[in-house]
Structure 1
Amino acid sequence: MEYQTSLTQGQPDDEAVRLLQYYEALALENDPRGYCVCTSEGKDSRVLGHLFRRAGVKHFYQHSITGIDPPELIYFQRSNFQQYRDAGYLTYDVMYRKSMWQLMLEKKIPPLRTIRYCCAELKEKRSEHQGKAVVSFGVRKYESVKRARSRNELEIALPRQKNLIMPFDDGENRKIFELCYRDREKRVNPLAYWNDADIWNYSRDVKLEQCSLYSEGFDRLGCIGYPLAREQNRRREFSRWPKFYEQYLRTFDRMLERRRQCGDAILDYASTAEIWMEWWLSDHVQETAGAGQLSLYEL
């Protein structure tokens, strides 16, 4: 089935507000607390939360603790959550079930652009705080090719299948969204069609404070070492926060030992923790790691 890129008209912020107001009744039917706004308090999350407050719809906030976010972003998030609580909103901080270092040891590989097991465990796993709430993320189609194909303004998560996605309209799609998939996880992504300029223009126009790291030249904030980031940015992160580099290196060393104990392949580019780290940080490797190198990456 083919979908139009968008059925909304007008300015992106006005349409985002209209979308949230349009589905508020569905959100309240699923959970009396309203929407669950999943936020890291990075630039997209900040805009997302502001749109919810501007729309005047009932919602609460959830933040996933990853253990590998920049310290400055963590302090910024804590301060913002206190402000949300002071304004009467519910907030939840969700601790990871398994740390990044535990996940790497279990998988015996670092996360790659094509194998990002960390996102599913650290950020996307549904928590008990969410209940049956309609969730909202600051994901945007412009961020990656995969998101351009798979993310839309409205989504229904189907087990072991691709998400059912649909554009925003007031016709048959809404009936399907509300009735046929009543017990499935529902997601509303009002930033799906926003680009970077939209994010920064909106932040400027409404005088929305963003994390100080952006003013230092960081263009994205998230997990330190995140494999979707370019090599230059990842090296800059490790230079800024060297203790995370040291922890990654120690975990690479433990992964090698685990692979030896299990009799798994150890190839030339992973013969030592330091060599493996340099291989992992390479943009070329991150882009091309695939079928030809899966002897090391069998999960």
Structure 2
Amino acid sequence: MSSSNEARDFLVSRRSRVRPEQVGLTAGPNRRVAGLRRGEVAELANISIEYYSKLERGNLSGVSDSVLRSVARALQLDDAETSHLFDLARALSTSPTRRARADPRTSEIRAGLQQTLDAITDGPAIVRNGRMDLLAANALGRALYSDVYLDPRRPANFSRFTFLDRERSERFYPDWGAAADVAVAIMRLEAGRDPHDRDLQDLVGELSTCSADFRERWARHNVRLHAAGVKPFHHAVVGDLDLTYEAFDLAADLGLNLTIYSAPGGSPTADGLRLLASWAATNESEESSSTHHAEHS
């Protein structure tokens, strides 16, 4: 889909979500549209209805930051949605040349980054990109996401796991719907940042073809910043884990995100992480022995 169509559909979806009473307007008995009318958004943003209609047709090229901020306020966009609107406008105002973002599908993760992951020993730590590729992990991260790694394709991908390996993913994510929403919302943000990413376009096409649940979520145009919180898991070996996470975009590797999981000391999840570490150490020892035996057979 073109960037102008993406911008059009995003603005229409956000306008239909805002109820008149949320912005101090009276709905009236004869309202035939879901959410706000274009003229109401234009009035709230202090621009003409003709200009707003142009924006909603996807013509965001050259639009000033002040107008974009006014539209964002009128549509009550949150931080992630506002960032996405600016990304869509930026994509329409520049040439299709790819920005200098990390392309880890063809590049190795920096040795220093992997070394940093390996130095984190008390909790799972992973690096992903906006396509939801799982690019690197420490020992506990590999153990936590062992089911994701069962797909032989590399890099492993969280969205493929979530939507195409439903039996495992529904067991692994106790709140599968929330996990699915987050995966699609992150991919939507990435599509706004880098609309010319062929790998992302191919992945969206694959998931749209194979999963009605993905198609339905993709059509919502929801975006979300995934920075901190608590996420529930059910690991096949150690059982239920309620992991606190902190996520950081990496300044040295544009487009990559580091997520670190932890648990309060003395909690059942902390006990589960110790069991996971023991299981991971046993697994890695067995794999190392198998590799050594194969090399000397």
TM-score by length of structure 2 reads: 0.28
* Greater RCO, 1 or 2 (C-alpha within 8 Å, sep 6+): 1
Of Structure 1 and Structure 2, which has the larger fraction of its residues in helix? 2
